[in-house]
Amino acid sequence: MSQDEKKMEEHGVVNLSDNPSFEPLTLIKPTMQGSAVCIKLAFRQKPLKCIGHECKVKQSLLRTTARKQSVDLMFDEYADAFVQGWDALEERCKALLWAHRQWFQQQDLSKEDIDETFLPALTTSRANRNQYVLKVSLAYPRDSETPQVVIRTEDDVVVHASEITPTTRVTPLIEVQSITMTKSQFALECVLRQLLVHEDVSDQFLIPRKPRTRARLEEEPSPTTTAAATIATTPPADEPEDFNEDQATDLVERTELETAADPESAFDERVQLDEWAVPDAEQPAEELTPAVDIYRDMYAKAKEAAREAKKRALEAYLVAKNIRVAHDVALTDDFDAEIDEVTESDLDEEE
């Protein structure tokens, strides 16, 4: 057994992509937490921690509200081994619940009841059926917007949570803490503990890269990675495709205005203005970055931010409408008409 394997075993860590065995997984007698029942998990008498597949984080890690916050980890179609490992974990949890069914005698549960009411934590994305989504919780210290998540690069460089964007490629460490039981369902409670940030290399690039020495760094253009954020002078990306949901078009177009109203918010604050200051007379003029390239970068970043805002607005619109329809909410308001009332003047009032 290697040193890494020993360390993982000591800390109750499993790599879900390596087809692990969950036989050592056990349940701890449940306790009441409000109106729900909490059943703690233990893996070799330690909290269960799972290494995931390479993925991206959909939302910001920073706290935006006073309430408990969660984020979505987005896995692509290459995460099949991870998906199979997660399915095996959930099946083991179902088997353990059935083995300890005496804990829930008042519910008179059958094995079919457990299978039907166990809520999958890993689901397919509604926007892209080739993607998988895992919702994980974040733990925050008191009066802090930064989560208790250790984030490092492969070179062991510490990364701040604010540097993680929806395009950052990471490998997560997820603690599966417990199974929560309510009147209608069982659900896994998962907390994000660590992130390993990867260099931004295309999945289709098959030739392994050599270590990036100082000499090579001087020759290559600066990448727009999170670990070393700079602005690259590349032309703007292609226009994003429009969404097909016609009924939400008006709403999401107005949401774009909210981000476009302040395009400089997408500009990397860590880039110092001195990089474009007028040089000494001895410095060749051709070394200056043309102003048009700078604004092209700003435009590309603002456009990407608008696209993400458009997605969030569409999701919120569909969630609200689904709740209204699926749960037969008896309201007399005109849902679409109220949404259409939002105009550009509302942006000025919020300011």
| Averaged pLDDT in 10-residue chunks for the chain of 351 residues | 80 91 92 88 93 93 80 93 95 93 76 91 88 93 89 90 92 95 90 88 43 42 38 39 47 48 44 40 53 79 87 83 71 66 59 48
Nearest residue to 11 via CA among 256, 193, 202: 193
Q: What's the domain range around 189?
A: 3-197
Give pLDDT, residue 64. 79
For residue 281, the tally of other CB atoms under 10 A from its CB is 6
Residue 35 placed within a domain: yes
Give pLDDT, residue 194. 95
Residues 41 and 181 in one domain: yes
Give pLDDT, residue 202. 43
CA atoms within 13 A on the CB side of 11: 15
User: Which residue, 176, 197, 218, sits at the end of a domain?
Assistant: 197
For residue 18, the tally of other CB atoms under 10 A from its CB is 10
Residues 126 and 174 in one domain: yes
Residues 289 and 346 in one domain: yes
Give pLDDT, residue 11. 86
Residue 222 placed within a domain: no
Both ends of the chain: CA-CA distance in Å?
A: 60
Residue 192 placed within a domain: yes
Residues 44 and 178 in one domain: yes
Q: Supply the pTM of this predicted model.
A: 0.56
Residue 205 placed within a domain: no
Residues 130 and 20 in one domain: yes
Bridge partners of 27, per DSSP, are 41
C-alpha–C-alpha distance, residues 196 and 173, integer Å: 8
Dig out the tokens for 2 from the structure. Answer: 């290697």
* Structural domains in the chain (count): 2
Residues 151 and 249 in one domain: no
C-alpha–C-alpha distance, residues 323 and 315, integer Å: 12
C-alpha–C-alpha distance, residues 243 and 249, integer Å: 8
Residues 139 and 234 in one domain: no
Residue 208 placed within a domain: no
CA atoms within 13 A on the CB side of 166: 13
The CATH number of the domain where 118 resides is what?
2.40.50
Give pLDDT, residue 32. 87
Give pLDDT, residue 5. 79
